[in-house]
Chain A
Amino acid sequence: MKVRARDPKQVWKEDFESSPARDDGLETSTISGIPLQPLYTSSDLPKREEELPGQFPYTRGIHPSGYRGRLWTMRQFSGFATAEETNRRYKYLLANGQTGLSVAFDMPTLMGQDSDAPTSRGEIGHCGVAIDSLADMETLFEGIPLADITTSMTINSPAAILLCMYIAVAEKQGVPADRLGGTLQNDILKEFIAQKEFIFPPAPSMRLVVDSIEYCAKEVPKWNTISISGYHIREAGSTAAQELAFTLADGMAYVDACIERGMRIDDFASRLSFFFDAHIDFFEEIAKFRAARRIWARWMRERYGAQDERSWKLRFHTQTAGVSLTAQQPELNIARTAIEALAAVLGGTQSLHTNAMDEVLALPTDKAARLALRTQQLLAYETGVANTIDPLGGSYFVEALTDEMERQAEAYFKRIEEIGGVIPAIEAGFFQKEIADAAFRYQQELEQKRRVVVGVNEFTVDEDEHIEILRIDPKLESEQVARVRDVRAKRDPARWSTAIARLRKAAAGTDNLMPYILEAVRAYATEGEIMNTMVEVFGLYTEKAVI
């Protein structure tokens, strides 16, 4: 009689269960709390048709050639102090092999106010570069040919103004708008949800976003009109699945708004781009990126009926997780960032920012900024990871986790729909509460040492090494204030007042505001003046703070 061999998986299961387990009390779920099996096997793989890069639903990447065709763009987010100093840093980064620019603005610029506004005091040039008018923007890009580079601008409430400034600088360089390439963050929904740099209420905010998308579809066709961002949602404390779900839900809300305006999906969908976080939980992040592409492709094709393949493809930028960096033993941040960057690359990102080790303390020094860029170059040119497309495709674990991400995101889409959509959910505080709950849960896990952050709640040292940090000269503040006042004094007052009056009238009507903003920018109206003109019509939004 033949003895039937025991099922090897069953044997493994029994062996595993009878083996001693670590008793360190640490969580074995992902950092977001997804329970993990100790082992994944072929039985965890769903039955589905083979997925291939460059083919719907693009789980394995949007390009048939992966990084064999083209490496990701190394795009370091950078900006500090004045336009003049930042211009020097850009030239330094470009000379060191960076392939695209990414502008960080200071808080007054992000909040649409001029450097001489009373609440700008102490904030000028700290988080990024101070831009008050076209004059500053001209300085920022002095000697940098805008026809030859692409530029990403991280700005939201005043995004339309900064885009108009960029177009106006290009005009002066003799570069027509249809040759400009770059990305505007322009994602107001995640501001209400997470980063909180809102100014106008949701409805006029959405109008401005749609105005810029509509305008660019005609006039600046190579521009990525919006970078729908999960980064800030994640940094505010969300889980990976929340980041994925809320970001894609925001994306769909923009699509709905554009369709409502009367645009055809295939006229704008290919210019939508995304921006995700690369956090420290390696496989979860890779699964998140893969799931994002699959979900977006399905929704674009099946729900929105997009016909153009380019409308189905989710393209994204990634930044490593600022929130994972530690002030304690900051050199450890180089290792963290390298691992996170690797996850982004294995997840198929189109462009990448790697954080500098000192960003948890202040803006990066030249040396730290270069080290961060070098980390990407090391990944691209030394490790060999760019040679094979989606190298983790087919991994039992990664495929199962990709499916789990998709499942959790779809569950969130249903909940958001039940509340009535993204804006009602914002007004109900839904996202804000989900994120705050997740952030608090994670903090408690740290306090209870169920999770370890090396150098913070374990493996600590008494005395931290002192590292050099970048200081912003306090003199800069008064100089920038003088500069904006000088611009106001020297411009053509008639052209300025006509432009502002026309903008005010247009804001009260239904015209696309972009041409009016562009004319105000050309007339050297300051950012604060343009914003205030619109505030008069649109009003201000205040958030009901929920703990």
Chain B
Amino acid sequence: MATKAPVRPVRIVLAKVGLDGHDRGVKVVARALRDAGYEVIYTGLRQTPEMVVDAALQEDAQVIGLSIHSGAHMTLFPAVVQELKRRKATDIIVFGGGIIPDDDIAALKQKGVAELFTPGTPLQGIVDWLRKRFPEGAR
């Protein structure tokens, strides 16, 4: 008889990539996702793409959330996706947030970033998106 594996909460690594220290947004998102029932690991500031992927693998995370406000998103977000490819961990989904112009959003999605949330996004919008991606929690 086949048994269904128990549902466990989705684990999310949130990271500040790049050199800027503006952590207001990432901290607010971290609290909101935690309150919504996700397991949130916040890495802290100035993480390189390698450090972010290390953390995600160590924590067995399904999702990586990246935050940046310095304008280096076009370099650093795709670098995280590339690093996941290199480490054969492409099942981990990457989303991002910060000051990201519209034109860049399309380009980043093409480069494998699943979704981008810009200033003014309701927290519920991020939660709704995650619920859609993981309707039954992590497997």
**Chain A residues packing against B (C-beta within 8 Å):** 107-108, 110-111, 119-123, 126-127, 191, 195-198, 235-237, 323, 326-328, 360-363, 435-436, 439-440, 443, 446-447, 453, 456-457, 466, 469, 472, 542-545, 547
Contact = CB atoms under 8 A, between A and B. Distances in A.
A127 B19 CA distance: 11
B108 to A, nearest CB: 13
Top 7 A-B pairs, shortest CB-CB distance? A122-B75, A196-B21, A126-B71, A545-B44, A122-B72, A107-B19, A456-B120
A547 B42 contact: yes
Interface string B105-139: 00000000000001110111000000000000000
Contact of A439 (B28, B46, B70): B28
Given A195-B21, A435-B24, A439-B28, 17 more contacts: A107-B18, A121-B72, A122-B75, A123-B70, A126-B70, A196-B21, A196-B23, A326-B119, A362-B101, A436-B24, A436-B31, A443-B28, A443-B123, A542-B44, A543-B45, A545-B43, A547-B34
Which secondary structure dominates chain A's binding surface?
loop
Contacts, number: 104
A361 B72 contact: no
Nearest to B122: A447
Contacts of A323: 24
A122 B44 contact: no
A121 B18 CA distance: 9
Interface residues of B, number: 36
Contact of B119 (A111, A119, A327, A472): A327
7 contacts: A121-B72, A122-B18, A196-B21, A440-B28, A440-B31, A447-B123, A547-B30
B60 interface: no
B76 interface: yes
A360 B100 CA distance: 9
B124 A436 contact: no
Contacts of B20: 107, 127, 197
Contacts of A123: 18-19, 70-72, 75
B82 to A, nearest CB: 13
A466 B32 CA distance: 30
Contacts of B28: 237, 436, 439-440, 443
Contacts of A457: 122
Residue among A107, A110, A191 with most chain B CB within 10 A: A107
Interface string B45-72: 1101000000000000000000000111
B19 A121 contact: no
B27 A119 contact: no
Given A195-B21, A439-B24, A547-B30, A361 B99 contact: yes
A196 B27 CA distance: 13
Contacts of B102: 466
A432 B42 CA distance: 15
A112 to B, nearest CB: 10
